[in-house]
Amino acid sequence: MIKSKLATWDKKRLRFVLILFFLALAIPTAILILKAYSQLKWEAFHHYRSQAEELSTRINLRYRELIEIESARAFTDYSFLNVAKNNSEQFLQRSPLSAYPVNSKFPGIVGYFQIDNHGQFTTPLLPPVTAIQLSQNKNYGLSAIEKTERKNLQNIIYQILNKNKLVNKSTIQVAKQKNIPKTEEVNKAIAGERNSFELKDQVIASPAKPSPENLSSQSAVRVTSSDKIENEPLITAQTAFDNLKTQKKHVPRERKSKASSKGRPRVEDLKLEKQYQKESQKQLLALSKKQKRKKIVRRRIESNVLPSYPALLQEKKNQTGKKDAELRVNMFESEIDAFEFSLLESGQFVLYRKVWRNGLRYIQGLLINRNIFIDSVIGHSFYKTNVSNASKLTIAYQGDILSTFKSKSSPRFYASDYSSSDFDSTDFNIQGNQQLQGTLLLQNKLSAALGQIELIFSVNNLPAGPGASVVTWLSVILLLILCGGFFILYLLGLKQIKLARQQQDFVSAISHELKTPLTSIRMYGEMLREGWTTEDKRQQYYDYIFDESERLTRLINNVLQLARMTRNELPVDLKEYTVAELIDTVRSKISSQLERAEFKLSLACDDSVKNMEMLADSDYFIQIIINLVDNAIKFSSKSEKQQVDISCHVLRNNNIQFTIRDYGPGINKDQMRKIFDLFYRTENELTRETVGTGIGLSLVQQLVSSMHGKIDIINKEPGAEFQITFKSI
């Protein structure tokens, strides 16, 4: 039933059915593989997210430790001189913040400063004039070079604050002075190269005749300049610091970059996918609400002691016979707020706190180089973790992107250079053609004073987990099995379609082949029985009956052997024969066959090969030669030269070769490999002129192979020649 249906199919229909079957298996399999891979992918995603959370916590703790160290500093540490107690005596000593170069664990620190209630600027780098007057060493132990360098740094701090309007210009005394630092030199110093130039003839000190109002604090600053200060509306430094939190900062471009002329990109410009962050955002929102409820602003109250410089100067004038005046001190209490953090318009970070002393407010803080502050903690920590293999880290302040750290998997990443100052806006042109490209991994804000800084981890190239490689290899193997299996099924289907058609052709051919000799035998038998023939024709009719019966016998034997061959039941009885014996047996079998077909036989065998022996089955050998001779007669019946040549000779490798040649039209080259296929015929079934079933040559090949021989065919001019090769003994 199936074979009869296959016979009606063609290649196109078979391909269509197999493709549908392949898709029916491949689509569900692909969905399962994609689901498995997606699950592994998101497991890896959440794994890296956990690492990003841990890294964010570690960075937050590190910054908190640094701020706590600064918060623990006393109000008096921001003065150059402190009062120390030794037993019952008191003496002056340098403040911990007066060290030069600035000695602090805080990364990127430029220097410390203090702004009093009048907006006057001081630093712990230099002693006040009153302290110098009280000291026998007028420079208070500072060399001329160190004093100049300290003045340079103090001027840099002042200029940064002045540029951001955090000090009052009206309180600064200005005089003509030469060799003021150029703007680019100051910018270099601000960027961390503060010792790269010398500042000549720069005076940063208290006024020559201090007034009682400013003697209680450190000296005011007098900066010389050749330019006049423009008249501006007075905005107190205290108010400017209060406005730092409310004003939005625009980060200038300190270096040439590809950022737009409007400034740094915004976080919104990243266009990160946040569909996987909904649950985590709810958790973060709930956590932030708890933190807000728990957040309690507390002021620290501490007792302070500072030297009383006006009293000391007056006593020194009255006591002319003493070398040193007795140390007089001011004791007071101060209330200290927690540190606040902001980004200045000039590009530096400022960490500052408000301190109340006797009802007056002071501002104390430190200026920070932004790039060093970010690189030393965030960048260094980021590249020491595995999360840098999968994501890049963007740092933003109040929604403005400050810098980015590329992932290690980025082709533009260099391990020796990951500075956040190398900002490139093209880093944020997220390519959406890669999986998880531009997907938000984690967005987290730092706590306490640094709450305006955001750490944004975005997936750049998510590495596949260990399970993904297994799924990938299984997918490849399964794909190869499916493709290979369906290709084999396609070939088998084509073969079955071809076999079904050939069997149909064989049935029609065998019916014709059986019917023709039977009809001839019956016709000549009836004529002989009825006596319708003359005596001279009778023998001829007997010969026809004999030839047709021989032909029928050969046909039946071929069919029977074909059946045994398909069941692998083709027995072979190999014995030793000489070539001469086989040739003599063949001669007697095919002579009458050729004579009745009116063909000539040319049998030539070399003398050197006649006595050679070979293993053969004589019945199979005779059947091979008879089938080939019958094939030659059939396809060269209309040729001009009706002759069959049979020869045998020895090859160079001592093998024995038999050849059977006809003088017909030959065989087309594209059919030479097909003529040994079962049921294959070189002629169309509707237009063919020769008889046959298409099993003769296939059977010949099987018989030759069973005797460990080899058969081949070549075209001659004219005709075709079959070559059969056997091994000699």
Mind listing the pLDDT tens digit for each residue in 57-102?
A: 999 999 999 999 999 999 989 988 887 766 566 667 888 898 898 8
Whether the pLDDT of residue 12 is over 80: the answer is yes
pLDDT at 422: 40
Query: Residue 309 and residue 318: Cα distance in Å, rounded?
Result: 15
Mind listing the pLDDT tens digit for each residue in 118-159?
A: 888 899 998 876 555 555 545 667 888 998 999 999 999 999
pLDDT at 289: 56
For the beta sheet containing 656-661, the strands, ordered from the edge strand earlier in sequence to the opposite edge, are 600-605, 643-650, 656-661, 720-726, 710-715
Mind listing the pLDDT tens digit for each residue in 153-192?
A: 999 999 999 898 888 764 443 333 334 444 454 455 444 4
Q: Provide the residue type at 246 as one letter.
A: T
Those residues with Cβ within 8 angstroms of residue 28's Cβ, 6 or more apart along the chain or in another chain = none
Whether the pLDDT of residue 222 is over 60: the answer is no
Decide if 533 contacts 527 (C-beta within 8 A): yes
Mind listing the pLDDT tens digit for each residue in 516-562?
A: 778 888 888 888 888 887 777 888 888 888 878 877 887 787 777 77
**Domains of the chain by start residue, with CATH:** 62-226+235-371 (no CATH), 374-459 (no CATH), 571-726 (3.30.565.10)
Given the DSSP bridges, would you call strands 109-115 and 360-368 parallel, antiparallel or unpaired? antiparallel
pLDDT at 418: 45
Q: How many CB atoms lie within 10 A of CB 472?
A: 14
Average pLDDT for the chain? 75
For the beta sheet containing 453-459, the strands, ordered from the edge strand earlier in sequence to the opposite edge, are 400-405, 391-397, 453-459, 439-445
Query: Residue 258 and residue 640: Cα distance in Å, rounded?
Result: 90
Query: Residue 729 and residue 727: Cα distance in Å, rounded?
Result: 7
Q: 679 in the Ramachandran plot: left (φ > 0), alpha (ψ -120 to 50) or beta? A: left
710 backbone dihedrals φ, ψ, rounded to 5°: -140, 140
pLDDT at 133: 53
pLDDT at 375: 92
Whether the pLDDT of residue 218 is over 70: the answer is no
* Structure-derived torsion over alpha carbons of residues 561, 566, 571, 574, reported in degrees to the nearest 10: 90
pTM: predicted TM-score of the whole model, two decimal places: 0.58
Tell me the average pLDDT across 497-510.
73
- From the list 708, 709, 684, 705, the residue with the least C-alpha distance to 694 is 684
Tokens matching residue 462? 């998510």
Mind listing the pLDDT tens digit for each residue in 383-415?
A: 999 888 888 899 999 888 998 898 877 665 544
For the chain, the C-alpha Rg in angstroms (whole number) is 54
Mind listing the pLDDT tens digit for each residue in 663-718?
A: 988 888 878 878 887 777 665 544 445 555 677 888 888 889 889 999 999 998 88
Whether the pLDDT of residue 365 is over 70: the answer is yes
List, as one string, the DSSP characters of 437-480. TTEEEEEEEPPGGGTTEEEEEEESS-PPPHHHHHHHHHHHHHHH
Tell me the average pLDDT across 333-358.
91
209 or 165, higher pLDDT: 165
Instruction: Name the percent of the chain lying above pLDDT 90.
Output: 21
Task: State the SS3 of 154-170.
Answer: HHHHHHHHHHCCCCCHH
Whether the pLDDT of residue 287 is over 80: the answer is no
